[in-house]
Amino acid sequence: MPRKIVKKIKKAVTKKSKSEMKVKELEPVMLQPPRGMKDILPGEQPYWEQVRRVTERLARDYGFSRIDTPVVEFNNLFNRSIGEGTDIIEKEMYSFATKGGDKVALRPEMTAGTCRAYIQHGLHLLPKPVKLFSTGPVYRYDRPQEGRYREFYQVNYDAFGEQDPVLDAQMIQVAYRVVQNLGIKSIQIQVNSIGCPTCRKEYKDLLVNYLESKKNKLCQDCKRRLETNPLRVLDCKEDKCSQVAAAAPQSVDHLCDDCRNHFKNLLEYLDELDLPYAINPQLVRGLDYYTKTVFEIWSGEEGGRKFSLGGGGRYDGLVKMLGGENTPAIGFGLGVERLILEMKRVQAKPYRAPKPRIFLAQLGDLAKKKSLKLFSELEKNGILVAESFGRGSLKAQLRVADKLGVELTLILGQKEALDRTVIIKNMASGVQEIVSVDKLVDVVKKKLKTDNVVTYHDNGNHNNHSENK
């Protein structure tokens, strides 16, 4: 072989080995999500489905319309609404610049985006109050712990255009009903009034004077909050700060006449509803936009450990602050992960999906082709059918049918596919009969006693429905 050709071959081999080395040097794929984020696996989904069903049903019952806003919004929407001095803005927000140079953030809460959509799309023209329901992921770069993740899910209820405290009471009632309907029975509502900007200024001055005198007893974060957001000191979970907060002036003692009457009427409505509430003078919530009513929903046994499941309050100035009309508003959010954690703790039942009572078995290539259409026909008629497409052996398919505990198995073989018939096997008695494909749906419904046919459509096309109640 000529030397030139040998050199070319050696060069090509060398180049190939170098490119192979480059491939090997690539970073390995991390087979896990980033810290504080998680997969929601099929085994967990019954709890999530139960939360979805309960929250969506109550939203419909109380007149809320669904709204979905983007996960990514412009950065200043949150800076303006939540407040520069809050922990969310200073420590927890996922902010970044896009390739086009826009400053954006993953939403750390849902109310700001809902208010932006309310203004942008002229929803103020709708009859008042405008009630909106939303659900989805939110993001905070916080220390992950039990029930708290960096990506977590919320359900949000917001109402715009009404300042009467009767709406505050109804929103608290909705939050209570959600938690109650999920099977969590030990519930306490904590409520407070932090006043309006007018009376809060005087109260804030009084509070700052008190906190300044106790400054040496505060944690480092609260010493900083004293300059930026003094009300947040009342909500600190550090023991030494809690002791200082317990003796601090209370906002309810320094309300203007309008705020005092608003809070008094709210408490009367809560009494009328017979809701288990307690006034918590340290409750302020962590966002700057709140006014007047603030509340939280807690679960836990009397004297035992208690868990905050969510909360909310009034934000009468937020829509105007973002550029809309002067619009009173109130809303709340509940953490889905926390709800599920508490459901498991109290052994509340998750959603139970309806079980199929029919199994479709097929044998042979022609039968396999025909069975797809047959399955579709049964599905269109609202009949829930199980199958094991791809399993060649009829014996293996019947084992699956047995395991599922179905009442009837429909068997489609080569002969049946040619004859346009199906064998119906009663799994309890073993009795079999041959039925024409054209009459199959009617025969199946009759055998299962039409009223009890398991269906799963929810679009009004079928009359027979079976839901988890």
Q: Assign residue 327 the CATH number of its domain.
A: 3.30.930.10
Q: Look up tokens 């309310």; give the residue.
A: 118
Do residue 367 and residue 337 come from a single domain? Answer: no
- At residue 358, the 3 state secondary structure works out as strand
Q: Could you tell me the pTM of the whole model? A: 0.84
Q: Where residue 415 sits, what CATH number does that domain have?
A: 3.40.50.800
Nearest-angstrom CA–CA distance, 390 and 399: 14
Closest CA to 74 of 102, 101, 94: 102
Residue 39 lies in a domain: no
Please report, in tens digits, the pLDDT of each residue of the chain (469 residues total).
Answer: 556 555 555 565 555 555 555 555 788 888 999 999 999 999 999 999 999 999 999 999 999 999 999 999 999 898 887 766 566 666 788 899 999 999 999 999 999 999 999 999 999 999 999 999 999 999 998 777 766 789 999 999 999 999 999 999 999 999 999 999 999 999 999 999 999 988 888 888 898 898 888 888 888 888 888 887 788 888 887 888 888 888 888 999 999 999 999 999 999 999 999 999 999 988 987 677 889 999 999 997 766 678 899 999 999 999 999 999 999 999 999 999 999 999 999 999 999 989 999 999 999 889 988 999 999 999 999 899 999 887 668 888 888 999 999 999 999 999 999 999 999 999 988 899 999 999 999 999 988 874 444 444 444 344 444 334 3
Query: Could you give the CA distance from residue 414 to residue 364 in angstroms, rounded to a whole number?
Result: 6
Q: Is the same domain home to 411 and 272? A: no
- 382: which 2 tokens? 């609202």
Measured distance CA(262)–CA(266) in Å, rounded: 6
Cα–Cα separations (whole angstroms), residue 197 to 20, 291, 369, 382: 67, 7, 70, 57
Residue 70 and residue 174 in one domain? yes
How many Cβ atoms from other residues are within 10 Å of residue 99's Cβ?
A: 5
Q: Indicate the number of domains in the chain.
A: 2
- Whether the CB-CB separation of 232 and 86 falls below 8 Å is answered with yes
Task: Indicate whether 462 belongs to any domain.
Answer: no
User: Could you give the CA distance from residue 41 to residue 319 in angstroms, rounded to a whole number?
Assistant: 38
CA distance 450 to 434: 20
Structural domain contains residue 233: no
**Structural domain harbouring 368:** 358-452
* Bridge partner residues of 294 (DSSP): 192, 313
Closest by CA position to 344, among listed 299, 312, 310, 304: 299
265 and 124 belong to one structural domain: yes
Angle at 407 between CA 406 and CA 413, to 5 degrees: 85
> What secondary structure letter does DSSP report for 148?
B
- What per-residue confidence (pLDDT) applies to 463? 41
Q: Which helix (H) or strand (E) holds 387?
A: strand 385-387
Same domain, 326 and 365: no
* 333 & 395 share domain: no
Query: pLDDT value at position 214?
Result: 84
Residue at a domain's end among 296, 317, 345: 345
Asked if residue 382 and residue 261 are part of one domain, the reply reads no
In a domain, 387, yes or no: yes
**In a shared domain, residues 93 and 189:** yes
What's the CA gap between 326 and 152, in Å, rounded? 32
For 374, the 3-state DSSP assignment is: helix
Residue spans of beta strands (DSSP E) within 94-247: 95-97, 103-106, 130-139, 151-160, 187-193
Domain-located, residue 59: yes
- Which helix (H) or strand (E) element contains residue 447? helix 440-447
428 belongs to a structural domain: yes
How far apart are the C-alpha atoms of 319 and 321, rounded to whole Å? 5
- My answer on whether omega of the bond before 108 falls inside 30° of 0, hence cis, is no
Give me the pLDDT at residue 86, please: 65
One domain for residues 363 and 280: no
Q: What is the distance between the alpha carbons of residues 1 and 229, in angstroms, rounded to a whole number? A: 84
For tokens 């019954």, the residue is 46
- Whether residue 338 is found in the same domain as residue 422: no
Q: Which two tokens stand for residue 426?
A: 């009663």
- pLDDT at position 240 is 87
**466 domain-assigned:** no
191 and 70 housed in the same domain: yes
CA distance 143 to 237: 15
- CA pair distance 398, 390, nearest whole angstrom: 13
Query: Is 89 in the same domain as 177?
Result: yes
What phi and psi values does residue 67 have, to the nearest 5 degrees?
-135, 140
Residue 122 belongs to some domain of the structure:
yes
